[in-house]
Chain A
Amino acid sequence: MAKSMTIYLRVWRQAGPEAPGRLVDYTVADANEHMSFLELLDVLNEQLIHRGEDPVEFDNDCREGICGSCGVMVGGIAHGPQQRTAVCQLHMRAFKDGDRIVVEPFRAKAFPIVKDLVVDRSAFDRIIAAGGYVSTTTGGAPDANALPVSKEAADEAMDYAACIGCGACVAACPNASASLFTAAKIAHLALLPQGSIEAPQRAVAMVDQMTAEGFGDCSNHAECEAVCPKGISVHGITRMRREYIKAVLR
């Protein structure tokens, strides 16, 4: 039988982008260890709806750790205390009965709060639009083996391609830097032959956009890697820097 738990939440409530926000205390008495953290919020929301209150807004979609929609600060850590786990995959067994948990939105100037725990991450889309694409032919599917890629490059590119763009790196970074996200995209494409056509401009265009969005600088705290649900390595950031320097010296 699932162990029943009582969880004391302090949740950031904010009615709209310009409205003042504050932390509000809620008790969820009928939680259990098999719930995901988002299901805990669902249970809380049912309580709120029954009481005629506004439910807590939070982003989510796949609930299986692959879409990158979800993401909140749980107890001061982006996606919560369990590493390599998006908050939709974080289960209540990671907590103890009676725990007090503060739930806040990802905070960055470039991620304005929409409502409660929902933030606008379209700054990431603009960074991608600035250079996170490749030129390719349309039509039938290309022959899988037409372009030779070494095993090492394919493996490392895949590690960077695992980025789901959730924004945890920005939220956890003491500087609110988007370096890990931007680097993951640049490194992924830089490692593959498909990315070579735009390579001379890509790093510069994407870094410029990242700067224009108002993200902070990277101080090499590497906190981003620790909270990344996909465990993307800060080595990608050195790849981004190399790509950038190569582009400038070219």
Chain B
Amino acid sequence: MSGRNNSIWQALVSPVGRKVLTGLTGLGLVLFVIVHMLGNLTYLQGGDAYNLYAHKLASYGVLLYMLEIGLAAFFAVHAYIGINIYLRKRRARGGRYNTYKTAGKPSRQSWASRTMILSGVVLLVFLVLHLMHFKFGPGVAEGYVVAVDGAEIRDLRRLMTEKFQSPLYAFGYPAVIVLLGFHLRHGFWSALQSLSFTSPRWNAVLYALGAAIGLIVGTGFIIVPLWIYFSQFN
């Protein structure tokens, strides 16, 4: 038996370490999308609620900055390993099967599990566009400004309203979110399994929880754009 050769680095790039990293970063991103989704819902409260929420976030300054860097690192590590796993799997198969079917339960192979790379890459491309449109989109300097309690803050609500009145945004955004929902459907349980938090006793519950999270996060994100789009007609 070869000795204890493993530095922490070797462990992290091993099949076990790669999955632990995908799982940890994946769960971090799940937490992020849940918070983001809840934040978006403040739009539906009307008035200044959404702008105040965004302003409050921005006012955290350095703290927010650090969180954002951490988040970017999570995305980068997660996407890098995810793509790497996909490339390795293509090499590992060798020839193609003429016929391939799942054997059914207890397999958790599904459309969602087979398309993690597709949903992931779409999310990555979407992320860049999304940041350009909103985070780095027009702000106070471009006239997107609103006075709340005497202070002039960025009018993100107006930006959002304008964007989602166009059908491209109003329907393109939900399409990406549906893929996010599928990513979470397999991803949530998969991350727990990668981190060895699962047990035969709880697997059914945890797997169902993944579907619930996918559905709830997906619905939460989709409501606002559709609401904005259809409100413009009445």
Contacts and interface: CB of A to CB of B under 8 A. Distances in A.
Contact of A207 (B16, B97, B99, B114): B16
A4 interface: no
Given A234-B193, A235-B200, A204 B6 contact: yes
B8 interface: yes
A226 B193 CA distance: 17
B105 interface: yes
Nearest to A80: B103
B109 A222 contact: yes
Interface string A155-184: 000000000000000001011110100000
Contact of A208 (B2, B85, B197): B2
B93 to A, nearest CB: 5
Centre residue among A21, A113, A174, A250 by max chain B CB count within 10 A: A174
A104 B102 contact: no
Interface residues of B, number: 50
Given A225-B107, A235-B199, A76 B20 contact: no
26 contacts: A174-B113, A175-B85, A175-B92, A176-B93, A177-B15, A179-B15, A198-B1, A208-B14, A211-B14, A211-B15, A214-B91, A216-B85, A216-B91, A217-B19, A217-B88, A217-B89, A220-B108, A220-B190, A221-B108, A223-B102, A223-B107, A223-B108, A226-B104, A238-B198, A240-B16, A241-B20
Interface of B: 1-6, 8, 11, 14-16, 18-20, 85, 88-89, 91-109, 113-114, 116, 186, 189-190, 193-200
Interface of A: 10, 12, 21, 23, 73, 75-78, 81, 83, 102, 104, 107-113, 130-131, 172, 174-177, 179, 198, 200-202, 204-205, 207-208, 210-211, 214-223, 225-227, 233-235, 237-242, 244-245, 247-248, 250
